[in-house]
Amino acid sequence: MKISIKLLSEMTGYSQATVSNALNNKKGVNRETAEKIRKAAREAGYAADWRVSSVKLVMYRASGAIVNDSPFFSSLISGVEEEGRSFGFDTLIYNLTRDSGDYEGQLQELCGDPSTALLVLGTELEEEQAKRFEEAMSPVLVLDNWYEGLSLNAVLIDNVDGAARAVNYLAGKGHREIGYLKGSYRIKNFLYREEGYVRALREKGLEYRPEYTFSLTPSMEGAYADMTSLLQTEPDLPTAFFADNDMIALGAVRALQQNGYQVPGDVSVVGFDDLPFCAISNPPLTTIKVYNREMGRAAVRRLVEMAKHGADYCTKIQVRSSFVERESVRDLSHPAAPSENQ
């Protein structure tokens, strides 16, 4: 049986006009009443007639530790805006911070507007908060995150395979002691990258050594300060590190250099993201390239498909990364030739 406005009116006891206004996020219905009507509509299986006129890119922040300090997201936003324009949609940037005083009100406003499709930046998004977006009255897609138990469409990075590719490269260059520069703020992307790091070590028959895992703040200055402090303790270092992202890698490289270590002569480093300045860092950073602009474009295309044809099923789209070889890794696979004096 198709659930109509009339039937919802009879079920809830509100007039058809009130039900219609609540479902279309129009003024004149108080927040409590609107939430009751939307809840009843969801439970009854009401299928909204989506007439999406714009895309709202929700910049979700739990702490801002990742989103605030990385230039990674500017290209992703550009991809969303470019693809949105190609479909005739305006793209609105909406900042949503979990600790803000009006968080609940903002969330209800976002989820209650059927005219605006939602792209939620999920880099810092926790599962409990992601679940709230399942209640939205318009199409929703999560960017840069995925939760297996939730019915949300997603576009994300191939984190596990990308990290494994970095470790495999280091092993191929003769490195047998490969450490891990671990972001201290554990977003889900970092957890997946750690999984790829450990998996690749195991597949290459290399030992996982906890003392080679250094926990660093996931920003360039924070990683620099943390690595500097760690180096003061004169720790045993591996010949190479894989870092959770480029910001951590570059901060660590600077700390190593300022404490007398040569990169890559003494320690090699591989990052993740391929931020624009990695090509001109000293040394240029070997890293995993993430196609963030293409992620934004793919997200909009899927969102438009959902708006036009409904969302009877969920998709998880992984955008494959690639490897960028530069100058921050020493090749240990070919021993140096003996000098003439030996």
pLDDT (tens, 9 = 90+) of the chain, 342 residues, equals 556 777 778 788 888 788 777 766 666 777 778 777 777 776 676 655 556 778 999 999 998 888 887 788 899 999 999 999 998 888 999 999 999 889 999 998 898 888 889 999 999 999 999 999 988 888 999 999 999 889 899 999 999 999 999 999 999 999 999 999 999 999 999 999 999 999 999 999 999 999 999 999 999 999 999 999 999 999 999 999 999 999 999 999 999 999 999 999 999 999 999 999 999 999 999 999 999 999 999 999 999 888 877 767 889 999 999 999 999 999 999 765 554 544
Exposure class string for 161-174: b at 16+ Cβ within 10 A, else e: bbbbbbbbbbbebe
8-state DSSP, 113? -
At 137 the pLDDT is: 83
156: helix, coil or strand? strand
Claim to verify: residue 192 and residue 132 sit in the same structural domain: no
User: Does residue 238 belong to any structural domain of this protein?
Assistant: yes
Residue type, 230: L
How far apart are alpha carbons 17 and 256 in whole angstroms?
Answer: 67
- Considering the domain boundaries, does residue 64 fall inside one? yes
Locate tokens 């206004």: which residue?
21
CATH of the domain at 105: 3.40.50.2300
d(CA 236, CA 179): 11
Residue 85 lies in a domain: yes
Q: Specify the number of domains making up the chain.
A: 2
**Domain-embedded: residue 107:** yes
3: helix, coil or strand?
A: coil
User: By residue range, what is the domain housing residue 222?
Assistant: 159-290
In contact, 136 and 175? CB cutoff 8 Å: no
Residues 260 and 222 in one domain: yes
Residue 81 sits in the same domain as residue 121: yes
**Whether residue 286 is found in the same domain as residue 182:** yes
274 belongs to a structural domain: yes
Closest residue by Cα to residue 7 from 50, 51, 44 = 44
Amino acid in the structure at residue 183: G
Residue found by looking up tokens 């290399």 in the block = 206
Contact call for residues 8 and 19 (beta carbons, < 8 A): yes
Query: What is the structure's pLDDT at 68?
Result: 82
**What pLDDT, in 10s, does the model give residues 149-190?**
898 999 999 999 999 999 999 999 999 999 999 999 999 999
Residue-level pLDDT at 336:
59
Residue 242, phi then psi, degrees to nearest 5: -105, 135
Q: Is residue 16 part of a domain?
A: no
Q: Which residues pair with 215 in a beta bridge?
A: 182
Q: What is the pLDDT of residue 33?
A: 83
Number of Cβ within 10 Å of residue 277's Cβ equals 12
Same domain, 138 and 174: no
Query: 177 with 194, same domain?
Result: yes
Within 8 A by CB and 6+ apart from 235, the residues are: 211, 214
Give kind and range of the element (H or E) at residue 253: helix 246-258
What pTM did the predictor assign?
0.84
Terminus-to-terminus CA distance in the chain, angstroms?
A: 89
- Kindly state the tokens that stand for 247: 């910001």
The answer to whether residues 124 and 225 belong to one domain is no
Do 152 and 298 reside in the same domain of the chain? yes
246 and 135 in a common domain: no
Instruction: State the Cα angle at 160 between 70 and 211, rounded to 5°.
Output: 80
Q: Quick one: 76 and 135 in the same domain?
A: yes
pLDDT tens, 45-96?
665 555 677 899 999 999 888 888 778 889 999 999 999 999 888 899 999 9
Rounded CA separation 225/83 (Å) = 39
Does 245 reside within a domain? Answer: yes
* Burial class of residue 240, CB neighbours in 10 A (0-12, 13-18, 19+): buried
Q: Hey, which bits of 158-256 come out as E strands?
A: 178-183, 213-216, 240-243
Secondary structure element (H or E) that encloses residue 54, with its range = strand 54-61
Residue 14 lies in a domain: no
Claim to verify: residue 205 and residue 285 sit in the same structural domain = yes
- 269, 298: one domain: no
Contact 149, 126 (CB under 8 A): no
